[in-house]
């Protein structure tokens, strides 16, 4: 209750400030709706049995607006598939926030995008095909209720911090556990990005997340590598998850990109256990594909995906996908 009240007061303060600035500058508030849809057709093979399926994995419906030259906001409804093979769709309020941006300072209040893997996701660039490592394996949510502050100290150095609910945008629980994060991003030379991130949540068995990312964005080559470690996953003492993610994109033409990605997720063994605690979900992922952008707002990516589980009793799963992103 206290968290929600604080955010409401802060958002009202920003709105009032924005309208006051409009009177002085003559700025006219404006906005526009947006739609983004992720879908795919795929055939998976596990144990030699093909399993074809068509999915609409995500549909975003929202509105972006500007109240002044410094104040803007976003409302976004996320309609998603709760699980492979299920017919029903579920809807959540993913974003509902105000953003204040002046010079080198950016502040966001409300249901905000989280900062844990935002930089990596931007360089990866294929969210409609596969989430980034921390998002894919549920080390953090892409949006949450809270506040974030980012400041650019120089052209090559910026830092950010946030305090959020910690449950993600699908679970708005009103408890005392907050997730606090700090991060620093360095661009030592053109096109090269280095980022370090840390967060913690809870008291008795404090969950903490540590991530390091390096990315390069050239005209013909885009690549990135990340390492993630989460201790006391889910605030369960002694349960840790760790892993690496590597990806490369080659750009042969304006409309075509070739991509490959490799992930490895691992968990630890607790005292007295014969196997890793997360063994059923541990494993290695490989993706190879070709993105084609025939017209603005449409992306098509035929690709091959392979999941090799760490559990030797489980079969490997190979899949052929045609992923699509439509936005306007």
CATH of the domain at 231: 2.40.160.10
DSSP β-bridge partners for residue 186: 157, 194
Q: What digits encode the pLDDT tens for the residues 244-293?
A: 999 999 999 999 999 999 999 999 999 889 999 999 999 999 999 999 99
* Structural domain total, the chain: 1
Paired tokens of 280: 């059923």
Using the predicted structure, report yes or no on whether residue 25 has a pLDDT greater than 70.
Answer: no
d(CA 116, CA 262): 20
Q: What digits encode the pLDDT tens for the residues 168-209?
A: 888 776 667 899 999 999 999 999 999 999 999 987 889 999
Q: How confident is the model at residue 1 (pLDDT cuts 50, 70, 90)?
A: very low
Q: If you ran DSSP here, which 8-state letter would residue 269 be given?
A: P
Listing DSSP states for 24-45 in one string gives HH-PPPEEEEEEEEEEEEEEEE
d(CA 98, CA 112): 8
State the pLDDT at residue 46: 81
Listing DSSP states for 68-122 in one string gives SSSEEEEEEEEEE-SSTT----EEEEEEEEEEEEETTEEEEEEEEEPSSSHHHHH
d(CA 314, CA 328): 41
Q: If you ran DSSP here, which 8-state letter would residue 303 be given?
A: E
Q: What digits encode the pLDDT tens for the residues 142-153?
A: 999 999 999 999
Query: Once rounded to an integer, what is the mean pLDDT over residues 37-60?
Result: 89
Can you give 185-196 as a three-state secondary structure string? EECCCCCEEEEE
State the pLDDT at residue 175: 66
Paired tokens of 134: 């921390």
pTM of the model: 0.89
- The two most distant CA atoms of the chain are separated, in Å, by 69
Using the predicted structure, report yes or no on whether residue 128 has a pLDDT greater than 90.
Answer: yes
Sequence-separated (6 or more) residues with CB below 8 Å from residue 51: 43, 44, 45
Host domain of residue 31: 2-327
Neighbours of 85 (CB within 10 A): 8
Cβ–Cβ under 8 Å, residues 18 and 10: no
Paired tokens of 144: 């949450």
Using the predicted structure, report yes or no on whether residue 43 has a pLDDT greater than 80.
Answer: yes
Q: What digits encode the pLDDT tens for the residues 100-120?
A: 999 999 999 999 999 999 999
Residue linked to tokens 């303060």:
13
**Which range has the worst mean pLDDT, 17-31, 213-227, 251-265?**
17-31
Residue linked to tokens 């017919």:
87
Cβ–Cβ under 8 Å, residues 208 and 116: no
Cβ–Cβ under 8 Å, residues 61 and 35: yes
State the pLDDT at residue 84: 47
């Amino acid at each position: 209750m206290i968290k929600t009240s604080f955010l409401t007061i802060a958002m009202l303060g920003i709105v009032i400030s924005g309208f006051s600035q409009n009177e002085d500058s003559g700025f006219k508030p404006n906005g526009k709706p947006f739609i983004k849809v992720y879908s795919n057709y795929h055939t998976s093979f596990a144990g030699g049995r093909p399993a074809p399926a068509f999915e609409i994995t995500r549909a975003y419906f929202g509105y972006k607006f500007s109240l002044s030259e410094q104040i803007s906001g976003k409302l976004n409804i996320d309609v998603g598939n709760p699980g492979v093979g299920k017919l029903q769709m579920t809807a959540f309020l993913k974003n509902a926030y105000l953003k204040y941006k002046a010079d080198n300072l950016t502040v966001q209040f409300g249901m905000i995008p989280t900062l844990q893997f935002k930089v990596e996701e931007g360089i990866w660039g294929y969210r409609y095909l596969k989430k980034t490592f921390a998002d894919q394996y549920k080390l953090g949510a892409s949006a949450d209720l809270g506040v974030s502050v980012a400041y650019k100290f120089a052209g090559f150095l910026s830092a950010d911090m946030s305090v959020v609910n910690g449950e993600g945008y699908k679970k708005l629980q009103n408890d005392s556990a907050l997730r606090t994060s700090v991060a620093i991003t360095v661009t030592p030379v053109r096109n090269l990005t280095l980022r370090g991130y840390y967060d913690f949540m809870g008291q008795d068995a404090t969950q903490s997340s540590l991530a390091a990312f390096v990315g390069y964005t050239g005209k013909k080559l885009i690549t990135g590598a990340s390492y993630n470690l989460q201790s006391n996953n889910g605030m369960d003492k002694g349960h840790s998850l760790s892993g690496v993610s590597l990806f490369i994109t080659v750009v042969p033409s304006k409309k075509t990109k070739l991509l490959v990605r490799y992930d490895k997720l691992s968990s630890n063994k607790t005292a007295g256990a014969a196997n890793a605690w997360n063994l059923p979900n541990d494993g290695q992922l490989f993706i190879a594909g070709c993105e084609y952008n025939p017209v603005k707002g449409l992306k098509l990516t035929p690709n091959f995906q392979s999941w090799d589980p760490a559990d030797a009793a489980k079969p490997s799963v190979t899949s052929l996908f045609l992923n699509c992103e439509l936005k306007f």
